[in-house]
Structure 1
Amino acid sequence: MPWLLPRLAGSVLATWAGMVVGAEVGDWLGWPALCMGIGAALGLAAITTLDALRARRVLDWLRGAGQGSAPAEGGVWSELTYRFERLLRARDRALSDERQRLSQFLQAIEASPNGVLLLDAEGQIDWCNAVAADHFGLDPVRDRGQRVTNLLRAPAFVAHMQQGQFDHPVTVPGPLGRHTLSVTVRPYGDGLKLVLSQDITERERSDAMRRDFVANVSHEMRTPLTVLAGFVETMATLPLTEVERQRVLRLMEQQTTRMQTLLTDLLTLAQLEGSPRPPADQWVSVDALMAQVRADGEALSAGRHRLVFHVPPGGEIAGSATELLSAVGNLVTNAVRYTPDGGQIDVHWRVRADGAGEIDVVDNGVGIDREHIPRLTERFYRVDGSRSRDTGGTGLGLSIVKHVVQRHGGELDIESERGKGSRFRIVVPTARVRVRHNAAAVADAPR
C-alpha cells in the first residue's frame, strides 16, 4: 500500500507543525504545554478536515454514478477513486453487453413468423413482438402492463388461461374474425408465461378444401359405380332382349367414360400441382395449338355449331404445349357443351400493344348468372349440376384452366350474362409471347 506511509507522514507532520506553532504561542502567553496540546489538536483537525473534503468530493462523484472523470485527490483517495472507476466502467461494459444481447434476442423474436407474448406472474403483458400485436390486435406500447385476458376475450383463450392446463394448444379466432390462430402457452421462471401464436388460416382452409375434395371425388365416383353395379346386376339376373342388352351396354359405356374422364382430370390437376413451372424458353406455336383445339372442338360438336378461329400466323407462347392445349381445349369444350345447336363459337388470338397475348373464347350460349362467376374455377363447382353431368362435365375443367394460366404467369378473365353467352379470356404475359418475324403479315380474318 504505497499510500499508507505518505498518509502517516502527513498526519505526523501536521501534528508536529501544530505543536511547534502552539509552543511558540505558549511561550508568548506563558502556557507552553497547553498551547502545544491545542496546536497538536488543531493540526490533526486540519488534516482530518482536508480528508473530509476529499471524501465529500469522492462521494459526490459516486452519487453521480461515476459520470465524468474521477476527482484527483491524491493519496488514498486517488487509489479509492481509481478502484471505483474501474468497477464502474466494468459494470457499464457488462450492462452494455447485456443490453446488446437482449436487443439481438428481441430482434430475433421480431423476425420470427410466429407471435410471441411475454406475461408476468399476474398475467400482465410484459412485451410482445409485432406479429403477436397483429394476431391479437394489440398495441405493443399502450397495452404493456395490461392483463392479457382483459384484451384477448375469446372464450376458448380465457378458459385456457383460467384452467392452467397448458399441455396442448388452443384454437381461437383472431380480431374481427379475419384469421384463425393456434395459441400455445408455456410457463417458465417464477410464474411467468410465454404465449406463442401461429396463423393457421391457410392450413385450416387447405384442410377444409382437402376434405371437400375427397368428399366430392367420392360422390362423383359413387354415382357411376352405383349405376354400373345396377346394370351388371340387371344383366346377370334378368333375361334381356338384344335391344335391351345393347341399351344397357351403351349406358354402362357412358358411365365408364364418365369415370375415365374424371380420373383423367384428377391426374391432370395432380400433375399441375406437383410439377415445376413450365419453361420460359420452350416456344409453342399458336397456329399448331389452335389447329388441334379446332379439330377437337369440331369432333365434339359434330356439325351442330359454327366454330370460327381468328388466328394471325406466327404467334408463339413460351411454356408447355400439353398444358396450353388442355386449357384452351377445356374452354372450347365448355363452349360447345353449353351452346345450343346452331350457335356460334369464336376463338381469337391476338398480341396486344403492350406485348401480352390474349386468347378469347366467345360463345352465344346459355350464359351464366353473375353471382356464380367468382366460383367457377373452384373444383367441382357447377352452376347446374344435373346439366353439367348430362353434358359429360366433371366440374374440374375450369379449375384446370386456372392452374395452367397461373403456372404460365397469366390471368383468366370471365364475362358472362344469363341468356347472352360467355367470354373466357386468357391473358399471357409479355415475357412469354413473341411473333416469328419470318411469318407472313396477314389481317385478322376468320378461317
Structure 2
Amino acid sequence: MKGTRFFQTIQVKLIIIYVLLILIAMQLIGIYFIRTMENSVINNFTDSLNNDVNLLSNIVQNYLEPSNDDTGLNEKDLQTIVENWSTIIGSQIQVIDADAIVRSSSNQPDIIGQKITQPAQVIRAINGIQVPLWDVKDSSNIRKKAIAKPVKNDDNKVIGAIYISASTEELFQTINNIKQIFIAGTIIALVLTVMLSVVLSNTITQPIKMITKKAKALADGKYNQEVVIRSSDEIGQLGFAFNHMVQRLKDALSSNEEEKNKIASILSNMSDGVIATDDKGKVIVINLRAEQMLDIHEEDVLGREIADILGTSKEEIGRYVLGEQNSDMIELPRHEEAEPLQVKVTFTPIQRRGRGVTGTIIVLQDVTEQEKLNQSRREFVANVSHELRTPLTTIKSYLEALEDGALNEADLAKRFVGVTRNEADRMIRLVNDLLHLSRYDSNQMVVMKRETEIKQMLEDVVDRFSFQLNQRNIKLMLSIDPSIYTLMIDPDKIDQVLDNLVSNAIKYTADEGEIIINCRRKGQDWIEISVEDNGLGIPKKDIHRIFERFYRVDKARSRNMGGTGLGLSIAKEIINAHGGEITLESELHKGTKVTFIIPTFHLEGEQK
C-alpha cells in the first residue's frame, strides 16, 4: 500500500479547514469592523465640524452686523477669536461678509480684506444656500474636509459666511493604524489557530493513524492487533468496532483452520482418491490416496490439466461434469509385475451462485477388488452350474438308456448304475465342499483341537494312498523331525488337508514318479509340513490364483480326475482357522511343493 502524501492527510486537511474558517471569519469581522469604524470616525469628524461651524457662526454674527461702528476693534477681536478657535479645533477658518470680503483668516492673514471668488461652495453659502461637506486637497496634497455655512442675523438675513477646512490625514492615519493592528491580530490569530489546529487535529488523526497501522499489520497476517480506546466518541466507537472485527476475524480464521485441518485429515485418510480442479480444469488439490493410485507426486501434478492426468480429452470430461452421466470406469496401469487398477471416476461440479461452475471434484474409487469379487461370483456361479450340470446330464442320459431297454441287460445295466452312482457321489462331494466353504465364510466352522501324534497321522495318510501309489508305481517318502511328537490340532481337518494335497500330488505325478512328505520345526513356535512332487508343475501365471475357488490350471484333466476345484480353497481355510499359513511353489514340468505351517502354541479364543 502506497503512503499518503503530506497534503492529502486528514490532519493537514483539518488544519487547512480550521485556518480557512478563522481567516474567513476574521476577514468578515474585519471588513465589518473597519467599515463601521470608518463611518463612525468620519461621522464624528463631520459632526464636530458642523458643531464648530454652528458655534462659530453664532459668535461672529455680532462682528458681521453692519451697524457696528467700532470696526477696528471688531476686526481685531474677530481675528483673535478665529485664531483661538483654529488652535482649539486644529482647523483653518475664514470669516467672509456678505460682500465676499474676507474679514478674518486663521492661516492666511494676507487675504483679509480681499474679495474671494473661490471656492464656489463659499459663494453659495454667502448666497444663503446650505452646502454639505466636501473633500479638498491643498497645495501640499493634504486631504481635508471643508464646510461653508451662511451666517444670518436675527432677521434671518445672510450677513456673511464661515469657511472651515480641517485636515483628515490624522483621521485616515488612525484608521490605517487600526487596520494594521487588525491585520497583525489576524496573523497572530492564524498562527495560534494553526498551532491549536495541529494539536486538535492530532487528537483526531492520531487514533486514526493507530487504527490504520493496526489494519495494515492485520492485512499482513499479524492478527494479534488491538486498539487502545481512550474515548467514547466516534473515534472510540471506531476502535471498538475494529477490535470486535479483529476478534471475529480470529474466530473465523480459527474455525476455518479447524475446518481446513479436518478436511486435510479426511482427505489424507480417505480410502478413495480425491482431486480438485479450478474452472480451467487445472489441478489445485490432490490427496495421498490419489497420488498412490496415479503413481505421481503432488508437486508434479499441481497446475496440470486433469485430462492429461487421467488420459482422456477435455470434451469428454466436460460431458461427465455437465452431463447426466457423471462417472466412468478407467484402467490405471501399474508397474510391470502388478496388475492394473480398475478405478471408478466420479465427477462432481462445484457450483457458485452467480458464477456457475467454478471447479470440479473428482473422486477415484479403487474397485479392483470389487471387480475381482464380482468376477469371482460370476465364475463361481458358472462353475457350480457347470459342475452340477455335467453329472446331472450324465445321470439323466444313463437313466434314459436304462429306461429304453438297457435295464434288461444285466451287465450293461450294472455298468450304467455304477456310472450313475459315481456321478451322484461326485455331486455329493461338491455340495459338501461348498457347505464347508460356506461355514468357513460365515465363521460357523468350529475347530476342535486335541493333542494329536503327528507321526501316526502322517503314516495313516500314507497308508490310505498306498494302493494308488503301488498301482502307479509312485514312490512316497516320509520325513519327520524326531523331536516332533504331538501337536494341538483338529486331526480330522488336518487329515482333510493332507488327503487333498497328497491326492493332488498323485493325480499330477506321472507313473514311477516321486512324492516327499516332510515335517519339521520352523523356529520355536511353528511346525512346517510340506508335500512335494516331481509331476507336471503349474505355470507361473497361474500360481497366484491357485487357491481360488473352482480355479483349475487344466480344467478338462481335473474334471476327468474327479476334482471339484475346491480342495486347495478348503485347505487354505482350514490352515487359516488353525492360525497358520499355506503357500505353493511350482515350476512347470518339474514339480510342485505345497507347504503349510501351524503354530505349536494356543491362540486366544480357540475352542479346544
State the TM-score, normalized to the length of structure 1. Answer: 0.75
> 2:417 — aligned with what?
249
Give the direction of change, closer, same or farther, for the CA distance of 1:400–1:225 in structure 2 (3 Å limit). same
Give the direction of change, closer, same or farther, for the CA distance of 1:231–1:170 in structure 2 (3 Å limit). same
1:398 aligns with 2:568: yes
| Bigger relative CO (Cα 8 Å, ≥ 6 apart) | 1
**Residue type of the alignment partner of 1:97:** S
Q: Identify the match of residue 498 of structure 2 among 298, 304, 328.
A: 328
> 1:356 — aligned with what?
526
| 1:182 Cα deviation from its structure 2 partner | 1.2
Cα distance in 2 for partners of 1:137, 1:258 equals 48
The worse-fitting range, judged by mean Cα deviation, of 378-387 and 92-101 is 378-387
| 1:199 Cα deviation from its structure 2 partner | 0.7
> 2:580 — aligned with what?
409
> 1:187 — aligned with what?
349
Give the direction of change, closer, same or farther, for the CA distance of 1:61–1:362 in structure 2 (3 Å limit). closer
Does the 8 Å contact 1:171/1:182 carry over to 2?
Answer: yes
Give the direction of change, closer, same or farther, for the CA distance of 1:146–1:383 in structure 2 (3 Å limit). closer
Does the 8 Å contact 2:225/2:246 carry over to 1?
Answer: no
Cα distance in 2 for partners of 1:402, 1:110 equals 35
State the TM-score, normalized to the length of structure 2. Answer: 0.57
Q: Identify the match of residue 388 of structure 2 among 215, 218, 221.
A: 221
1:272 aligns with 2:440: yes
CA RMSD of aligned residues (A): 3.7
Give the direction of change, closer, same or farther, for the CA distance of 1:168–1:278 in structure 2 (3 Å limit). farther
Does the 8 Å contact 1:149/1:158 carry over to 2?
Answer: no
Provide structure 2 residue ranges, at least 5 long, that are not aligned to the other structure. 1-17, 27-176, 604-608
Does the 8 Å contact 2:518/2:531 carry over to 1?
Answer: yes
Query: Equivalences for 1:103-118 in 2 at 5 Å?
Result: 103-118=261-276
Does the 8 Å contact 2:528/2:598 carry over to 1?
Answer: yes
Cα distance in 2 for partners of 1:131, 1:374 equals 26
Does the 8 Å contact 1:337/1:391 carry over to 2?
Answer: yes
Does the 8 Å contact 1:125/1:146 carry over to 2?
Answer: yes
Give the direction of change, closer, same or farther, for the CA distance of 1:313–1:235 in structure 2 (3 Å limit). farther
Cα distance in 2 for partners of 1:101, 1:373 equals 48
Give the direction of change, closer, same or farther, for the CA distance of 1:336–1:110 in structure 2 (3 Å limit). closer
| 1:51 Cα deviation from its structure 2 partner | 5.0
Does the 8 Å contact 1:137/1:175 carry over to 2?
Answer: no
Q: Identify the match of residue 256 of structure 2 among 98, 108, 123.
A: 98
Q: Identify the match of residue 124 of structure 1 among 261, 278, 282.
A: 282
Cα distance in 2 for partners of 1:69, 1:425 equals 72
SS in 2 for 1:65: helix
The worse-fitting range, judged by mean Cα deviation, of 62-71 and 197-206 is 62-71
Does the 8 Å contact 1:349/1:358 carry over to 2?
Answer: yes
**Residue type of the alignment partner of 1:91:** L
SS in 2 for 1:189: strand
SS in 2 for 1:64: helix
Cα distance in 1 for partners of 2:448, 2:217 equals 67
Query: Equivalences for 1:194-343 in 2 at 5 Å?
Result: 194-239=361-406, 240-275=408-443, 284-287=452-455, 289-290=457-458, 292-298=460-466, 309-311=478-480, 312=482, 315-339=485-509
| 1:205 Cα deviation from its structure 2 partner | 1.0
Cα distance in 1 for partners of 2:509, 2:228 equals 102
Spell out, residue by residue over 1:372-411, the C-alpha distance to the aligned partner (whole angstroms, 9 max, x if none): 5555434334444444334322232223223333443323
Cα distance in 2 for partners of 1:69, 1:331 equals 78
Of structures 1 and 2, the larger Rg is shown by 2
> 1:161 — aligned with what?
318
SS in 2 for 1:216: helix
Identical positions, percent? 24
1:58 aligns with 2:227: no
Q: Identify the match of residue 379 of structure 1 among 535, 549, 560.
A: 549
Does the 8 Å contact 1:357/1:427 carry over to 2?
Answer: yes
Does the 8 Å contact 1:58/1:81 carry over to 2?
Answer: no
Cα distance in 2 for partners of 1:308, 1:41 equals 124
Cα distance in 2 for partners of 1:137, 1:424 equals 35
Q: What is the aligned residue count? A: 405
> 2:310 — aligned with what?
152
Cα distance in 2 for partners of 1:96, 1:189 equals 25
Give the direction of change, closer, same or farther, for the CA distance of 1:345–1:58 in structure 2 (3 Å limit). closer
SS in 2 for 1:367: coil
Provide structure 1 residue ranges, at least 5 long, that are not aligned to the other structure. 1-10, 20-28, 434-447
Spell out, residue by residue over 1:127-185, the C-alpha distance to the aligned partner (whole angstroms, 9 max, x if none): 23222333345543453344322332236x96253252245532112254731111222
| 1:262 Cα deviation from its structure 2 partner | 2.1
Cα distance in 1 for partners of 2:188, 2:448 equals 106
Cα distance in 1 for partners of 2:550, 2:308 equals 44
Cα distance in 2 for partners of 1:277, 1:47 equals 100
1:45 aligns with 2:207: no
| 1:203 Cα deviation from its structure 2 partner | 0.3
Give the direction of change, closer, same or farther, for the CA distance of 1:369–1:88 in structure 2 (3 Å limit). closer
Q: Identify the match of residue 388 of structure 1 among 558, 562, 570.
A: 558
Cα distance in 2 for partners of 1:42, 1:381 equals 107
| 1:202 Cα deviation from its structure 2 partner | 0.5
